Amino acid sequence: MSLANEIGMIRALWFRDLVHFVRAPTRLLGVVVQPTLMWLILGTGLRSSVSIAGSRNYQTYFFPGILAMIILFTAIFATISLIEDRQVGFLKAVLVAPGSRLSLVLGKISGVTTVVFVQVGLFLLLAPFAGYSLAKIAWGQFTLAVLLTTLLITSIGVIMAWKFDSVQSYHAIMSVVLVPMWIVSGAMFPVSGNWVDWIIRINPMSYAVAALRLSLDTDYISKLWLGESMIFLLLTLCSILALALATQACQRSPNRM
């Protein structure tokens, strides 16, 4: 294994995703406008029906959930292209290049991460309107939370994309697994003392949402039973496990040349 090959592969994949992002200005608009609208409309609509403990209102509560959604959709769009890419396109040459599959996944993750930071950065401009003071955000923790969440979700996306040979199957999984995972992650409503709590607690995305929430609002008390450091630790473990599984999934050869 040569380091130059590994770094080269990560760089190649990172560069490609970045160029795509920069050359599609409408995509940039979409990824910021859509979550903003969702936050405003859903936030206003659900304001009276979801009760949030303390003095926080629903839009404040929903804000970190929307951040997780931005990461989720960025990862989905970036990984869904892997399906066609590896059957008829660009990725074939990557698969016979000397770099490892781990670097392939890391390359994809680095591209997604860069795009995520731009989008999250833009969306954070709305944080004061959601009741968060930019001065009070724990920036180090926040950066770590965004990084780990991106690592987790992109790895899951890679696993899905490699498992399915058609974009349609991926779409199905997206609406049956990925989006529901986000809904029951504490992104839309908190743990509230019924059976759904158990789903929230075994859902790795819950720890991502909790980590994002805790970095934005250091006074928040999570009801996942766990303290802040345990939440970060669990998120880290889940992310590393997902990365390992994604690397493993990529070992599978395509069906034909």
**Cβ(69)–Cβ(187) under 8 Å?**
yes
Nearest approach, Cβ of residue 34 and another protein (Å): 22
Where do contacts with another protein occur on this chain (CB under 8 A)?
1-2, 4-5, 7-9, 11-12, 15-16, 19-20, 23, 88-99, 253-257
Q: Nearer Cβ to another protein, position 8 or 131?
A: 8
Who contacts 193 (Cβ-Cβ below 8 Å, separation ≥6)? none
Helices 25-46 & 101-124 angle (0-180, nearest 10): 60
Smallest distance, another protein to C-beta of residue 30, A: 17
CA torsion, ordered 54, 216, 233, 246, to nearest 10 deg: 120
Residue at token pair 């899905």: 160
CB of 57 or CB of 114, closer to another protein: 114
Q: What SS3 class is residue 192?
A: coil
Task: Tell me, rounded to whole angstroms, the distance of Cα 11 from its chain centroid.
Answer: 21
Q: Which is nearer to another protein, 171 or 252 (CB)?
A: 252
Whole-number minimum distance, CB 175 to another protein, in Å? 27
Shortest CB 9 distance to another protein, Å: 6
C-beta closer to another protein: residue 19 or 221: 19
